[in-house]
Amino acid sequence: MSPEIIQAPEWAWYYIAIYFFVAGTSAGAYFIGTMEELFGSGREREVSRAACYIAFPLLTLVPIPLIADLGRPERFWHLFVYNQAGYPYLNLQSPMSVGSWVLLVFSVCALLSFLDNLVADKIISFPLFSRYYNRIPRKLYAVIGSLAGFFIAGYTGVLLNVTARPFWAATSPLMGALFIVSGASTGAAAISLFLIWRKRNSGGEVERLEAFDRVVMVAELVLLAALLVMAGRTAAPLVSLPFIVMFWMGTVVFGIVVPLWFKIRSRAERFGANPVLAHYLFILLGGLLLRISLLQAGQL
């Protein structure tokens, strides 16, 4: 039985799209860094280090659009606990509440990884942390943080599916999978830009990152195609203005196809720095436009 269509959610798309994009990119970067930490050679840690330097600073931006979208920022704590009969309690039946707690877990793990790398690189001197950071199970909280980040990246898509608007409901459960894959792609692009900035964009780690991103971008195209087929007539807004520009040109062409073409060609030829830099920026822009397009199309 198809879900009942409810009243349109009171969401400001620009706040929520920014939240989805920033949280997804942070989660994707952290996941990639953890995989390199767990399965890399251990001699080079450029990718995992870059991921840690990216994930937590991005997460510090997440509360801004979340609180702004609430309308009443002073009630932000209600995302974590509710007040009933004078006592606070957890509402684990609320997707927003569960997501907020998982986001908090992810943020704590990302902060630990961020501090860990600052101390290891001797950027800060924090005596207590310096004394114990090698004993702290870095890989353990990296795994916990990655699982939480993985949940957050997919949860944003699932949150749309359960809202029961026609387009969003018709694409369940592919929306969550698409957001996970897109977050991995934008996370890889953010790591690559960081490595270019630090002039560390070479070596075996970077080659593995590029190979991973090629696979992820192909998967993103496949999921997008499957999502549109599954959505059927409810996807009609995506073939009208302004979505032809935002979704088809911004996300599909410049956000996925063009960068993927560059990545495939770069295996045989070397491009200059500017085209390489541009295609990473295209991936990030495409990831943002993907979320804007799917959010707006679902509310029409």
Distance CA 241, CA 98 (A): 36
Report, as an integer, the average pLDDT of 218-241.
Answer: 90
Phi, psi (deg, nearest 5) at residue 137: -70, 80
Q: Is residue 143 part of a domain?
A: yes
Q: Is residue 7 part of a domain?
A: no
Q: Is residue 113 part of a domain?
A: yes
* Total number of domains in the chain: 1
Q: Evaluate whether 23 touches 91 at the Cβ level (below 8 Å).
A: no
74 vs 178 pLDDT, higher one: 178
In eight-state DSSP terms, residue 87 is E
Residue range 123-163, pLDDT digits in tens: 877 676 666 666 667 788 899 999 999 899 888 888 787 77
Q: Is residue 8 part of a domain?
A: no
Q: Evaluate whether 95 touches 9 at the Cβ level (below 8 Å).
A: no
Provide the pLDDT for residue 23.
93
Q: Is residue 2 part of a domain?
A: no
**Structural domain boundaries, residue 70:** 13-298
Residue 228 in this model has a pLDDT that exceeds 60: yes
Q: Is residue 5 part of a domain?
A: no
Q: Is residue 165 part of a domain?
A: yes
Distance CA 244, CA 106 (A): 35
User: pLDDT band at residue 268, thresholds of 50, 70 and 90?
Assistant: very low
- Give the residue among 110, 111, 112, 90 at the shortest CA–CA distance from 101: 90
Residue 255 in this model has a pLDDT that exceeds 90: yes
CATH code for position 28:
1.20.1630.10
Q: Among 212-221, 235-244, 259-268, 285-294, name the one with the lowest average pLDDT.
A: 259-268
Q: Is residue 1 part of a domain?
A: no
Residue percentage of the chain with pLDDT more than 70: 76
Residue 25 in this model has a pLDDT that exceeds 80: yes
